[in-house]
Each structure stands twice: as structure tokens, then as C-alpha cells.
Amino acid sequence: MMNVTETPPSASSLPAGRGESVMSLVAPPHFHHGLLVSMIAGVVPLGGIGPTLPFESRPLTPRGTMSDVLSLLINELHDGRVRIVDLTQPLGPETPVIGLPPQFASSPGVTMKVISEFDDGGPTWYWNELRFGEHTGTHFDAPGHWITGRDLPDNTTDTIGPDRFIGPACVIDVTARVAANEDYLLSPTELAGWESEHGKIAVGSWVLLHTGWSTRAGAEAFLNVREDGPHSPGFHPDTVKVLAHERDVLGVGVETVGTDAGQAGGFDPPFPTHTTMHGAGKLGLASLCNLDQLPAIGAIVIAAPLKLVRGSGSPLRVLALVS
Ligand code: MN
């Protein structure tokens, strides 16, 4: 049993001098990605700021524990002025998996096998064993996934800096175009049109292609494979060059099974989104949903993959903060 005298003191119970040094460690005066991630991950409890009171009458978070911007964020989350939108599809045996031509190795779908469920194997606990490919369901593509990114530093899920898992989102709505053409590709001209309306895409942004594809029910409609291969929308090869090299984005996100269009195996270069983005050290997000709930600009996306050692990607929970 832990001796109570060994319990670490909370920041508020520290002597003033020591409290100040804690504040300087944990609460820099500027926006800090790592802290925000910790907060969203629950290291800083969302419900830990006191009873539900009107915003004006609730005491502010004690000084010395949290910067003003983080205190404000907690209050805004608590009061619903900042909402969390879940951009993640359910992950399970029904999750569609990308198909490859037969000469290539295929990725398995999801299997979940019960280890124990309140039975002889574990009378009071329930847990499962999982099997799936790294690129299954709503998932993250690391630069090391592609041959163009394989020699880059910090190119796998365990070595990419966590500051790169969060960024502002630019959401490009092409649902009307995709409804008329399932092989629709976002052109550089249309990207420029979006920027003339919403402003230039900022360095370090997630660029999310809102196609409406996530509303397709069932694997057959979602993968949309015909005799000549899969048909689904994506980016024109020249557009990803602009995003990677001229806008220096964090990465791109799509609603489809992969970041390239269905027919992209026949493009020049083949799979240009993977080839160009990962060659430039950029990230990818596939099988997103609920992009219709995001504004064109103004949301923050948090997309942190599992810290798989030498992982080329991983399923993940993708969250957006929207005010
Ligand atoms: Mn992938």
C-alpha cells in the first residue's frame, strides 16, 4: 500500500516558488500542441474544472496550472462552444479493405477473437485479440509507407514527432462534383478557386477532401470495383504537388479507402498522392467521415496513430475541434 506521504503534491498545494517553476514547465504562454494533445487525451481531465456553473460565474482554472488559452479551451469545450467531431469510421469485421491485383500480397480484414469474456478464461474481465493490416478502416499513412519516403528521417509511426499529429483543417467540399463523376479529381484550378474563397492554405494544414464517399453503405459501394478496377475520387497529380511542395501541408485526408483515387494505379506517376506526399514527408488519412460537420476553415484536426515500432501506418481515432 502506498504511504500517503509519498503522494506527489498537486501544483496548487506546492509552495509558491515551486508552483511558479511548475507553471513555467507546463504552461508556456503560447499555444502548445503537445499540451493540447495531452488535454484531449485526458491527461488534463475535461470534467476536472469544477461543477457545472454558468460560464461567467465559474471560477477560472487556478493560475499556475494552465495557460489562458488552455483554460479558455476547457471552458469552451465544457460549455459546448467548441465541439468535438469524430471523423472516424467504426473498426470491425465489416470494415472494407482495399483490394490489390492478385500478384500482390493482400491485407487482411479485421478479426477480433475473444480472449476471455467473464468466463473461465477470465471470470471478471473481457478482452479481445485483434488482427488487421496497418491500413485498415480510418487510418494513418506514414511517409515510410511508400518507396519515395522510405529513406526519410522519422518516417514511421513511432518516430514522427507528435507535433505533426495536430493542425488546422482546410476542408474542400467537392460532393456535387463527385455525385456527377465518381472518378472526380481535384484540379489545381479548383484548388485555386477554393483558396480565392477561403484564403491560401496555411503551412502545416491538414487538407481534407470532402467527397461524400463515406455515406456509401456497404463494402461493395464503398470500394466500387469494376472490371477495370476501383472507381473513387481523389486528387489530380498536379494538385498534390502544389499541396506538398508549395503549400507545405501536414498531409491530406480523404473519405475513400486510400488517399489516391480509385484509378490512380494508371496515373503518371502511379498513385501520385502516395508518391508525391510521402516523398515530401507528408502524412495521409483515409476513410474519414463526418467531414460535412466541418467548416471550410477553422477546425483543428487531431490524428495520432498508434506508436507502432517501424509502423507504416495504423488505424486511429481522428477528432476535430470545431467552434
Ligand atoms: Mn493507407
For residue 2, is it within any domain?
Answer: no
The answer to the question of residue 124 being in a domain is no
Distance in Å, CA 156 to ligand 1 centroid = 13
The 10s digit of each residue's pLDDT in 237-291 is 999 999 999 999 999 999 999 999 999 999 999 999 999 999 999 999 999 999 9
Q: How far is the CA of 228 from the centre of ligand 1 (A)?
A: 21
Give yes or no for a cis peptide into 269 (omega within 30° of 0): yes
| Spacing, Cα 274 to ligand 1 middle (Å) | 9
Determine the pLDDT at residue 66. Answer: 75
Domain that residue 165 falls in: 139-322
Cell of 86: 469524430
Pick the last residue of a domain from 80, 101, 119.
80
From ligand 1's centre to the CA of 97, what distance in Å?
Answer: 10
Mind listing the pLDDT tens digit for each residue in 100-129? 989 999 999 999 999 999 999 999 999 999
Please tell me the distance between residue 227's alpha carbon and the centre of ligand 1 in angstroms.
23
% of the chain residues with pLDDT over 90 = 79
Higher local confidence (pLDDT), 54 or 24: 54
H helices of 55-171, in order, are 68-79
Which residues lie below 8 Å from residue 166, measured CB to CB, with a gap of 6+?
33, 36, 37, 300, 301, 302, 303, 304
Residue-level pLDDT at 64? 59
26 plus 171 within the same structural domain: no
Assigned domain for 39 exists: yes
pTM: 0.81
Residue with cell 481515432: 317
Judge if 201 and 298 occupy the same domain. yes
Are 129 and 115 contacting, i.e. CB atoms less than 8 angstroms apart? yes
Task: State in Å: Cα 139 to ligand 1 middle.
Answer: 6
Whether residue 145 lies in the annotated active site: yes
**Residue 156: which CATH number?**
3.50.30.50
Give residue-wise pLDDT tens across range 130-178. 999 999 999 999 999 999 999 999 999 999 999 999 999 999 999 999 9
Catalytic entry in 139, 145, 210, 274: 145
Confidence of residue 67 (pLDDT cuts 50, 70, 90): confident
